[in-house]
Chain A
Amino acid sequence: MSVVLVDAGGTNIGSVRYALQRLGVDAALTADAATIRAADKVILPGVGAAGPGMARLRELGLVELMRSLTQPVLGVCLGMQLLCAHSEEADTTCLGLIPAPVHRFVEAPGLRVPHMGWNRLIAKQPHPLLTGLGDDDQAYFVHSYAVPVGDWTLATSNYGEAFSAVIARDNFHGMQFHPERSAAVGAKLLQNFLAL
């Protein structure tokens, strides 16, 4: 099985690659359209802001390519938000592969932004991506923007209100948390993606 990591910048690429290595998968880091198109699985990592993230995909000529993919695709953190329709972050039009908006968390007493730390995952729809997910399983989040709950939501988490922790539409999937930094729970969910 060939797995590629789309090299669209973002400092967590190395961490995602190591996480895949721990699962026995050596993922190539690439921005080459042909390599991405030929892969069995495509992962779009990402840390940073939506505007520069989309700009980087445009510079690399990968926007239409990403939209044309038919194999399983996983966006992680900012990568997940880039799969969505639009982000409030600098009013950025994203890839539009999952018809969801991305909103900023609203600060409130006791509700610090960024949402940083471990939070429980709550399954909302049965999906192979969530196989084996337990009631008390938590994942590590670091983000200031979030996708609201909609028909794209597979699992939620709560921070002031429920938001989307795992989303999917057709072959496109997203995890708002960092599976590469979510210990055994993250490894299980990454393994589930590799098994799709």
Chain B
Amino acid sequence: MLSRRIIPCLDVRDGKVVKGVRFRDHVVMGEIVELALRYRDEGADELVFYDITASPEGRSVDRGWVERVARVIDIPFCVAGGIRSVDEARAVLYAGADKISVNSPALERPALIDELAGAFGVQCVVVGIDSLRDADGEWRVRQYTGDPGKTQALARRALDWMVEAQQRGAGEIVLNCMGSDGVRRGYDLEQLSAARALCRVPLIASGGAGAPEHFRDAFIEADVDGALAASVFHSGAISIPDLKHYLRGQDIAIRL
């Protein structure tokens, strides 16, 4: 039986791991390789590295640290940040990343998803979606969220975009529910459940984890394949070994 994945997310800025609240006010949390090794040792199932400033600054991810991580890490990891072309994706994958995740550049040019899936297979291609509920109740896509000053609200509905991304060749979806991100009150189960009903590929919950019960709810109520979190792991508020034992005790398939 396939295990549900616990995925620490490391937001990378200027070569360091950082975390902000509601995507703002970034604080340095530590060195990339050091944190990656710590999470591997604690039993993380996968790591995601987001170079959060690459996309707003119009540059691609720095491959030097990708290779440094790949040399020491023996669990899968995904790299995101300003990947705009097959060539840039190839460089990151050849540096040792297992998957690449695209977000803002795929919104700029949706055919990028088709090109990446064609070149590397859908299993390498993750599409990240930043979504926020507007006053009219609709969840809509946000772009360039790495820089609050450049973030744009799009007219595109988040779940419409998710369906299109799958049709184009996304092999996995990370749905970052910005309304709950950074405040530790739980994943957005309503939005994730709505996404799950339309998502045929693995779906990863992001935004809002604050307690072990939040992970349980995301797995049981929203049936997500993985749950991503950052600050609760970086700060030590939730220990991954304790979390995984708790989840297995709740009859959830987990790797120990």
Residues of A within 8 A of B (CB): 11-12, 14-15, 18-19, 21-22, 47-49, 107, 110, 112-120, 136, 138, 140, 142-144, 158-159, 178, 180-184, 186-187
Most buried by A among B74, B75, B255, B256: B74
- Cα–Cα, bound, A15→B97 (Å): 8
Report the count of interface residues on B (CB-CB < 8 A). Answer: 36
Residues of B within 8 A of A (CB): 1-5, 40, 45, 67, 70-72, 74-76, 90, 93-96, 98, 120-124, 171-172, 200-203, 223, 225-226, 255-256
CB-CB under 8 A from A183, the residues of chain B are 40, 74-75
**CB-based contact A118/B70 at 8 Å:** no
- Cα–Cα, bound, A94→B143 (Å): 44
Please list 18 pairs of residues, one from A and one from B, whose beta carbons are closer than 8 Å in the complex, sorted by A's number: A11-B90, A11-B124, A14-B70, A15-B70, A47-B124, A107-B200, A113-B201, A116-B171, A117-B5, A118-B2, A119-B1, A119-B2, A140-B76, A142-B98, A144-B123, A178-B76, A183-B75, A186-B74
**CB-based contact A142/B90 at 8 Å:** no
Chain B minimum-CB-distance residue to A11: B93
- Cα–Cα, bound, A127→B83 (Å): 43
* Interface contacts beyond A47-B120, A120-B3, A159-B2: sample of 14 additional A-B pairs, CB < 8 Å, sorted by A: A11-B120, A15-B96, A18-B71, A47-B123, A113-B201, A114-B171, A117-B225, A118-B255, A119-B1, A181-B74, A182-B75, A183-B74, A184-B74, A186-B74
